[in-house]
Homo-oligomer: A and B are copies of this chain.
């Protein structure tokens, strides 16, 4: 029975959109993350969503090109960003002379990937990144700082995590030792899947890549090495004398030591951590929710040798961390993890009668000026329908404004959850509602 000319309103498939209560909760999480970043002296950056295709696709290849939203307008070939790292590289390259290094920036912004929509994957989602970029060199303190920052982020989100940390140079050093550098990426891809595929399958794949049975066994054992830093040193100190391997081990020790100074509590060492991107070159880490390991890594990061190699021949080494906050929120929301009942947009509703409506609005004004989210349901005409609306919207407190209340300047505050009632002066009302919000 559609009216002629009407359009059925639709949201694009695979795009994420929250209802108000969910959005209030989600926004509060983003605010918490921002506070952590600022507290740790990271500065905000807000790059455009669109970039020249030439800039954005400089380093990419393969899948990125297919997934990216690319189009021309006039004679300009442009793309929507698919991550926040390439825009960072563009920004740092353009403003190298004006910025202070190490440059510590965070960015929370939407990115776009036109991939097939599936559970937990969206075509538009928030990336939440913090990176430290050095000018030609960068201390390993920065690596520890990013790992610690990720811990602090989850702490602020009130989520218990364990961070698994490795250094890619260890596995890469072993691969160099057995002279398989040319297959390094392929080998790491197999090792990255160890937890998901049967051992025999991994062995078969490594054998196809030219590893002997003993080499396969050794590298699989290596990748399965976990423990605290002391245990790692005991297990690996004499495992392989390759210099890259030893450098990785020494870097791992340096990061472990610095993490102690940062008061880090949740890090364990785990050589199976590789992270997909092949641009990571040293420290790599991933965060897993305690008791929810099945969700996979919910954050991670690592060290890269050169952020800007497509834009400049000066090395800009960096280390960063990232949280897939959209996917994380979506998965936890599905498990009813969040108590959305606490995200009320209204602290209290002012319920008036016809003849006290104006006084009600004045009270709303005073309460809002004092920081109370007060609402009066001006669309509901009768006392009864206003009360009903307050109930429907699960407002915790109502304040009843009758003619007596105006005369005595004492209002009836009713807690809708407990049905308790109080007669209070306006200052005491405010006190009561505010103390209850804590």
Contacts and interface: CB of A to CB of B under 8 A. Distances in A.
Interface of A: 3, 5-12, 15-21, 23-24, 26-27, 38-52, 54-55, 58, 69, 71, 73-74, 76, 78, 80, 89-91, 93-95, 98-102, 105, 110, 112, 114, 124, 134, 137-139, 141-142, 258, 261-263, 308, 310-313, 345-346, 358, 361-362, 365, 368-369, 371, 373-375, 378-379, 389, 392-393
Contact of A17 (B46, B71, B308, B392): B46
A20 B262 CA distance: 26
A95 B362 CA distance: 32
A45 B20 contact: yes
A373 B40 CA distance: 6
A44 B23 contact: yes
Given A311-B8, A313-B3, A379-B101, A365 B261 contact: yes
Contact of A6 (B9, B10, B73, B311): B311
A43 B23 contact: yes
Contacts of A258: 361
A19 B97 CA distance: 12
Oligomer: number of copies: 2
A52 B12 contact: yes
B71 A41 contact: no
B40 A6 contact: no
Contact of A41 (B137, B308, B373, B379): B373
Given A39-B368, A48-B124, A345-B43, A9 B94 contact: yes
* The 3 nearest A-B residue pairs measured at CB: A71-B71, A20-B43, A15-B48
Contacts of A58: 7
A44 to B, nearest CB: 5
A383 to B, nearest CB: 16
A27 B48 CA distance: 15
Contacts of A16: 48
A38 B358 CA distance: 23
Contacts of A24: 43-44
Q: In the complex, which of the residues A12, A58, A258 has the most CB atoms of chain B within 10 Å of its own CB atom?
A: A12
Nearest to A109: B110
A85 B10 CA distance: 15
A110 to B, nearest CB: 6
17 contacts: A6-B311, A6-B313, A9-B89, A9-B91, A11-B48, A16-B48, A18-B46, A19-B98, A20-B43, A20-B44, A21-B43, A42-B345, A48-B124, A49-B110, A49-B124, A69-B71, A134-B379
A69 B58 CA distance: 23
Given A3-B313, A6-B313, 12 more contacts: A7-B54, A7-B55, A10-B94, A12-B48, A17-B48, A19-B98, A21-B43, A24-B44, A41-B345, A41-B373, A261-B362, A262-B361
Contacts of A8: 311
A76 B12 contact: yes
Contacts of A46: 17-18, 23, 26-27
Contacts of A5: 310
A286 to B, nearest CB: 23
Nearest to A122: B48
Contacts of A313: 3, 6
A397 to B, nearest CB: 13
B11 A102 contact: no
A78 B353 CA distance: 49
Q: In the complex, which of the residues A7, A40, A371 has the most CB atoms of chain B within 10 Å of its own CB atom?
A: A7
Contacts of A105: 20
B263 A365 contact: yes
Contacts of A74: 114
Contacts of A45: 20, 23
Nearest to A94: B9
Nearest to A23: B44
Contact of A52 (B10, B42, B392): B10
